[in-house]
Amino acid sequence: DVKVTQSSRYLVKRTGEKVFLECVQDMDHENMFWYRQDPGLGLRLIYFSYDVKMKEKGDIPEGYSVSREKKERFSLILESASTNQTSMYLCASSYLLGGWNEQFFGPGTRLTVL
């Protein structure tokens, strides 16, 4: 059974704090993704990575950075959290090539920035 886990289900932080969201997958997937999901805006891609130490910007990378030091782990970093980063953050992983590249999602982290 594919498992994508995220470090926290709920997180409350203050404006200006540095925030780390961690994601771990156990399927040896090459690709990993970070999305945020907001009512009325749907799922928006922040960053993705197709290999260790590789990263690509998604549609809304501003205010975020990522780190992928190991294949199974992909971290999203909010350098200085702001209230407009309050959102549901979803991590996903998939194989690089072949098949349908189905993305498997974690349960999400609901981040509130006060």
Partner 1 sequence: QKEVEQDPGPLSVPEGAIVSLNCTYSNSAFQYFMWYRQYSRKGPELLMYTYSSGNKEDGRFTAQVDKSSKYISLFIRDSQPSDSATYLCAMRSYSGAGSYQLTFGKGTKLSVIP
- State the binding string over 14-53 for partner 1 (x if CB under 8 A, else -): ----------------xx--------xxxx-x--x-x---
Query: Could you tell me the smallest distance in angstroms from the CB atom of residue 49 to partner 1?
Result: 9
Interaction between residue 114 and partner 1 (CB under 8 A): no
CA 23 to chain centre: 7
If the CB atoms of residues 48 and 74 are measured against partner 1, the closer one turns out to be 48
Residues 13/76, Cβ–Cβ less than 8 Å: no
CB atoms closer than 10 angstroms to residue 99: 7
Query: Could you tell me the smallest distance in angstroms from the CB atom of residue 7 to partner 1?
Result: 14
The residue from 92, 93, 111, 113 that contacts partner 1 (CB under 8 A) is 92
Q: How far is CA 12 from CA 20, 34, 46, 48, 111, in A?
A: 12, 19, 20, 24, 6
If the CB atoms of residues 67 and 104 are measured against partner 1, the closer one turns out to be 104
* Residues whose CB is less than 8 angstroms from the CB of residue 45 and which lie 6 or more positions away in sequence, other chains included: 33, 34, 35, 58, 59, 60
Q: Which residues bind partner 1 (CB under 8 A)?
A: 4, 30-31, 40-43, 45, 48, 50, 56, 90, 92, 94, 96, 100-108
